[in-house]
Copies of this chain bind each other. A is one copy, B any other.
Amino acid sequence: MKYIYGIDIGGTTVKIGLFNESGEMIEKWEIPTRKEDGGDHILQDISDSIEAKNSEKGIDKADVLGAGIGVPGPVTADGRVINCVNLGWGIFNVANSFSAISGIQNVKVGNDANVAALGEQWKGGGRGFNSIVMVTLGTGVGGGIVLDGKILPGSNGAAGEIGHMLINPEETRKCNCGKTGCLEQYASATGITRMSKEKLESDSRDTELKQYDHPITGKELFAAYKNNDQVACEIADVFSTYLGRGLANVAQVIDPEAFVIGGGVSKNGQVVIDVIQEKYEKNVMFALKNKEFRIAELGNDAGMFGACRMIIQ
């Protein structure tokens, strides 16, 4: 039996999955991400954890086919990280470094959103499609592109950064990226909460959304939307208009087979797909209509699966 490690480095924890050569996950666990000292301990900690797992399972290092790693920052095709501020990392080749530290020869590294997209394309919502765009609607709006079964990293490791497409030139509020009017400002969980707060403060109409004493999230918004609550429908319309326009423009560029929608907001299910798809169809040219839209299926495991896939594809 041969083995692969699929590793997803996040700002708080590192998720590690042990896979067999058929791509089945045998076990998964987490270790803390130690960001002190410029993130210098992270790769060593992962290597130590893998060594311990090998000992525990009686796995011979020679039977480890390789390790894939997803990193929360731009990564070039050859495994170079470019200023991964979340981990304190500057510019260095993570693939080469981890290989040297762990003794694992075959190491592949990708941006975490891209790696998660590969996982979903392989074993999740994008199964059966070769070319997908994955859109993660979480704190921000992440994107990952898989073309012909391979991650598109981009020349600076920044392909798929669709959350920072300009979508509203009239916006005056700043996005976290420093620009204004980014898709992320409306289509993220954070965007939904902000838009709901502003709407409730400025709109005197009665609405279901007023019953909550906590910030509105996608959950409350789409529940009220399904009840045809007018205020909720208007907020959902802003969300879906900007996201549908954004994905239409993405399709005009790369013409994927399918979009896979993930992240916390996607947990509200088919209604999210429905509102996005309606606006997508309105804004895309004839040859690009009727794309498939799917909900992501792997949740927080997508990164580990995608990292494994980089090794055995």
Contacts and interface: CB of A to CB of B under 8 A. Distances in A.
Interface of A: 74, 82, 130-131, 143, 145, 147, 152-162, 164-166, 169, 177-179, 245, 248-250, 252-257, 283, 285-288
Contact of A161 (B159, B160, B178, B287): B287
B250 A287 contact: no
Nearest to A248: B166
Q: What is the copy number of this chain in the assembly? A: 2
A145 B143 CA distance: 19
A255 B286 contact: no
A244 to B, nearest CB: 10
A256 B155 CA distance: 6
Contact of A253 (B156, B253, B283): B253
A255 B287 contact: no
A253 B286 contact: no
A145 B254 contact: yes
6 contacts: A154-B256, A156-B255, A158-B285, A158-B288, A160-B255, A161-B252
Given A147-B152, A155-B131, A169-B245, A253 B162 contact: yes
Contacts of A179: 283, 285
A155 B287 contact: no
Contacts of A257: 155
A158 B254 CA distance: 8
A159 B254 contact: yes
A186 to B, nearest CB: 13
A160 to B, nearest CB: 7
